Structure 1
Amino acid sequence: MRIPPELAETLAVVVDEGSLDAAARRLHVTPSAVSQRIKTLEEELGRVVLVRSRPVRPTEAGAAIVRLARQSALLEHDALAALGVDEEGAALVSVPLAVNADSLATWFLEPLARLRERHPVVFELHRDDQDFTAGLLESGTVMGAVTSRATPVAGCRVSTLGVMRYEAVATPEYRARWLVDGVTAKALEAAPLVDFDRRDDLQSQWLTAQGADAASPPRSYVPASNDFASAIKLGLGWGLLPSFQSEAELADGRLVRLGGPPVDVPLYWQQWNLRSPLLDAIAVELVAEGRRVLAAMPPG
């Protein structure tokens, strides 16, 4: 059995774009042509590769085909580079990566900019919680990911980045209003806090460590890293910020620490275990930057 490259590429584009109509526009063909290619692929494989939901999503078999299409595009880029094809005139290869919001807002983009100066590449970034980015690797959606998962995803290799350390902070005015008698469990259960979204459990972890009921406090949800930090700095509530986003304000008194132990989130870089000069260059740049700016991983 052979998988026609054009059909695999079409499936990957459909998954990327979310619908057959959007994929048709990108491929400059009709939606019926896209539908026929997917049907032909399914007939040749003898299995369904696409769930026609909104947006569409690949089946387990489809995810394997998408992964193949992405790997083929990457290897084609590497082969052209090895043949000495002029990189300035080469088509830009798109590399999908997954990253957690706080890394994206602080240290992740600078190494990508350096890579873009040296390679004909563009990046499609998928932002998700570090506990969930590994799933995007498993599905074939991305080629590499910043993740909290130390165990390699099947078919991937892993490198240690370091620890993102979070401290509980608030404005002095907020503390004077809501925590006037001290940062006690009772006061924390009534004091408003800021969560990133409903999957964010950092504030709940810290509350539990203080002996407070993590379900009690009223919450604001601000699902963007820089805006989340701004909400805390404007006094909407207390929250946990990495030093990247709080050190200046802590130094000049615009924020104060609420005490308690910091919350450390270990981060790792995982990528497909595919020997590709481009993917390896991306890993070298990102791992070096992560290790430079993040706290060292504790021993053991």
Structure 2
Amino acid sequence: MDLDLAQLRALAAVVAEGSFEAAARVLHVTPSAVSQRIRALESSAGRVLLVRSRPVRPTEAGRAVLRLAREVELLAAEAGRELGLDPGAGGRPPVLPVAVDADSLATWFLPALAPLAGEFCFDLRREDQARTGELLREGTVVAAVTTEAEPVAGCTSIPLGRMHYRPCATTGFAARWFPAGVGPDALGRAPVVVFDRDDDLQDTWLRRFGDLHPPRHHVPATADFGEAVRQGFGWGMLLPEQVAASAPGDLVDLDPGGGVDVALHWQRWRIRSPALDRLSDAVLAVWRSPGARGTLRG
């Protein structure tokens, strides 16, 4: 397979932007030029690499080539930096696409990246921590915060720590729905707040009481999720920071001393890359330093 950098960049741009037209704008070429490059790359690979859907997505073969395109893109940017190319004169800071769950993004992850924001551009993909590993497999991201301990093919996996969630509700909600205490009957009727339809955290705790399917409010934003619980929409699994944001006595812990721990891992591509090394060092420093760890527990 003959490799052409322009063709690989076109593939990465189409997948990242979701369409040939959007990729053309990013690459400053015409959609026809992008289409020609993709066809030439598919001809060279002898495989169809993209499903022409909306958004465009890679085929199984396309995932392998997409990962190659991302690796070449990262290494080319790093080579430009080593050669001292000015970003305005053609060199560009490396773009690091990273998958991260919403709760990590809202608590500890951005402070970990902040010292590197002047050197790299981050393309953060928010996804449930149980699904971020899939973005690694697709080649869409170079690293991910994930619940998967087993390394994705071509990646290394390092344990980060645990995020601890507690089932909480307002005192008024608890008095209305749990007057005789928390049990299967009451939990089957009491409304619950969930992040989105991929969020299994509340159900993980509920399964301790049986196969329960209470009414649900879907609130897909971390800050708004906590606010919905504080407004009495339902009970929900909250992080310590979300509990601390409430006035003392406003929230009741439905399972004192219990809750759910979610173990997180940091997975990154196993390639020699100063940019990826710097990124990993910054992320791992959060859980290595008790003062900076915040949400994460060892």
- Cα distance in 2, alignment partners of residues 33 and 200 from structure 1: 41
- Cα distance in 2, alignment partners of residues 38 and 88 from structure 1: 27
Determine if contact 1:137/1:144 at 8 Å carries over to the other structure: yes
- Cα distance in 2, alignment partners of residues 81 and 24 from structure 1: 25
| Amino acid of the structure 2 residue aligned with 1:257 | D
| Amino acid of the structure 1 residue aligned with 2:106 | A
Determine if contact 2:130/2:146 at 8 Å carries over to the other structure: yes
- Cα distance in 2, alignment partners of residues 290 and 141 from structure 1: 25
Report the count of equivalent residues.
Answer: 292
- Cα distance in 2, alignment partners of residues 104 and 148 from structure 1: 15
Matched, 1:141 2:140: yes
Q: Pick from 241, 255, 258: which aligns with 1:259?
A: 255
- Consecutive unaligned residues of structure 2, counting only runs of 5 or more, are none
Name 1:175's counterpart in structure 2: 174
- The offset of 1:88, in angstroms, is 8.7
- Cα distance in 1, alignment partners of residues 223 and 29 from structure 2: 40
- The offset of 1:212, in angstroms, is 4.2
| Amino acid of the structure 2 residue aligned with 1:281 | R
Local SS of the residue matching 1:151:
coil
Per-residue Cα deviation, 1:24-52 (whole angstroms, up to 9, x for no partner): 12222221111111111111221111110
Matched, 1:275 2:265: no
- The offset of 1:268, in angstroms, is 0.4
- Cα distance in 2, alignment partners of residues 293 and 148 from structure 1: 18
- Consecutive unaligned residues of structure 1, counting only runs of 5 or more, are none
| Amino acid of the structure 1 residue aligned with 2:94 | V
Name 1:226's counterpart in structure 2: 223
- Cα distance in 1, alignment partners of residues 5 and 127 from structure 2: 30
Name 1:285's counterpart in structure 2: 282
- Cα distance in 2, alignment partners of residues 199 and 44 from structure 1: 38
| Amino acid of the structure 1 residue aligned with 2:78 | D
| Amino acid of the structure 1 residue aligned with 2:217 | S
| Amino acid of the structure 1 residue aligned with 2:15 | V
- The offset of 1:244, in angstroms, is 2.0
Q: Under a length normalisation based on structure 1, what TM-score does the superposition of the two structures give?
A: 0.92
Determine if contact 2:168/2:236 at 8 Å carries over to the other structure: yes
| Amino acid of the structure 1 residue aligned with 2:130 | D
Q: In the TM superposition, what are the counterparts of 1:34-53 in structure 2 within 5 Å?
A: 34-53=34-53
Matched, 1:22 2:11: no
Mean CA deviation greater in 24-33 or 280-289? 24-33
- Cα distance in 2, alignment partners of residues 39 and 85 from structure 1: 31
| Amino acid of the structure 2 residue aligned with 1:28 | H
Determine if contact 2:163/2:297 at 8 Å carries over to the other structure: no
Q: In the TM superposition, what are the counterparts of 1:1-300 in structure 2 within 5 Å?
A: 1-85=1-85, 90-117=91-118, 119=119, 121-209=120-208, 211-215=209-213, 217-249=214-246, 252-259=248-255, 261-291=258-288, 292-297=293-298
- Cα distance in 2, alignment partners of residues 206 and 45 from structure 1: 47
| Amino acid of the structure 1 residue aligned with 2:202 | Q
- Cα distance in 1, alignment partners of residues 74 and 145 from structure 2: 20
- Cα distance in 1, alignment partners of residues 80 and 216 from structure 2: 52
Task: Give identity over the alignment, percent.
Answer: 51
Determine if contact 1:97/1:142 at 8 Å carries over to the other structure: yes
Per-residue Cα deviation, 1:83-112 (whole angstroms, up to 9, x for no partner): 344579752322110001110111111122
